Structure 1
Amino acid sequence: MSRQSVQANRPSHAAGLNAVNSAAAAAKFLEKKKEFDAVSALQRASALYLQRIEGLANDCETMADAGKIHGEVLEQWPRMFQILNLFLTSGEETQEESGSSTAQPGHGQRLVRIPIEELQDASEQKPPPG
């Protein structure tokens, strides 16, 4: 003989508590979602910042290597001028020993040959612009 509970006819307070808990959980969820979105945005911004810094680091390494090479080239210029001076001096000594006052070809008199004839021929063959 069981009798029905009186509690079944009374309105439940659990539903009200459940709604309050649900609203609190939803508010907490929204707060955590905002935090997560902010952290995600910060992570993306940090990744972009890292890429930029790495690019700058690569550029700095390239400039440092170029500076080293530039320094090595500049270091060679005094030696090159010394060699050219020795070459020209030896050419003058050879001229004095031979007694000729005319410059011999190949003794430092012409260091660079500019093909003027070829340039003139090429410019004459070009049709005038316009």
Structure 2
Amino acid sequence: MSRQSVAANRASYAAGPSAANSAAANAKFLEKKKEFDAVSALHRASALYLQRIEGLAADVETMADAGQIHGEVLEQWPRMFQILNLFLASRDSSALGVDAEPSPAPELGERLVRIPLAALQGDVEETSRK
């Protein structure tokens, strides 16, 4: 034979003055849970923000390295034009059959280079449409 539970017939211990304490504790618990959830969300957002900033820092370092290399290349252009001018001068003098010394190097910036901007801008517009 099975015996019936007497728990249903017992008076609740939660009733009475301790019920107010329990409700206050429950409200405090819910408040702390909301606070914990907010701090957790802030922590996740901060971690994501940190990842983005680190990615930007890596991009900036790459651009700084590229700028330094670009500067080194630009630094070599005047010397390259000087060498080309010496070559052209020696070619011209050998074509004339004159054994003269090559003319002194012209001033920097004497040779102009034309860049087809319209064609470059058309290429940029085509790639931006894709």
> TM-score range, shorter-chain basis?
0.5 to 0.7
- Whole-Å Cα distance in 2 between the matches of residues 78 and 14 of structure 1? 91
SS of residue paired to 1:55: helix
**Aligned: 1:65 with 2:65:** yes
- Whole-Å Cα distance in 2 between the matches of residues 55 and 18 of structure 1? 55
**Aligned: 1:78 with 2:78:** yes
Q: Which runs of 5+ in 1 are unaligned?
A: 1-10, 100-130
Q: Which amino acid letter does the alignment assign opposite residue 78 of structure 2?
A: P
- Aligned partner of 1:46 in structure 2 is 46
Shift in Å, 1:89: 1.2
TM-score by length of 1: 0.60
**Aligned: 1:22 with 2:22:** yes
Shift in Å, 1:98: 5.8
Higher relative contact order (CA 8 A, sep 6+): 2
**Aligned: 1:88 with 2:88:** yes
Shift in Å, 1:87: 1.1
Shift in Å, 1:92: 2.0
Q: Which amino acid letter does the alignment assign opposite residue 72 of structure 1?
A: E
Aligned length: 88
Identical counterparts, % of pairs: 77
Shift in Å, 1:93: 2.4
Shift in Å, 1:88: 1.2
Deviations 1:38-62 (A, max 9, x none): 0000011111111111111111111
SS of residue paired to 1:50: helix
- Whole-Å Cα distance in 2 between the matches of residues 32 and 68 of structure 1? 53
- Whole-Å Cα distance in 1 between the matches of residues 46 and 93 of structure 2? 70
Q: Which amino acid letter does the alignment assign opposite residue 56 of structure 1?
A: L
Deviations 1:89-114 (A, max 9, x none): 12222233369xxxxxxxxxxxxxxx
- Whole-Å Cα distance in 2 between the matches of residues 88 and 77 of structure 1? 16
Q: Which runs of 5+ in 2 are unaligned?
A: 1-10, 100-130
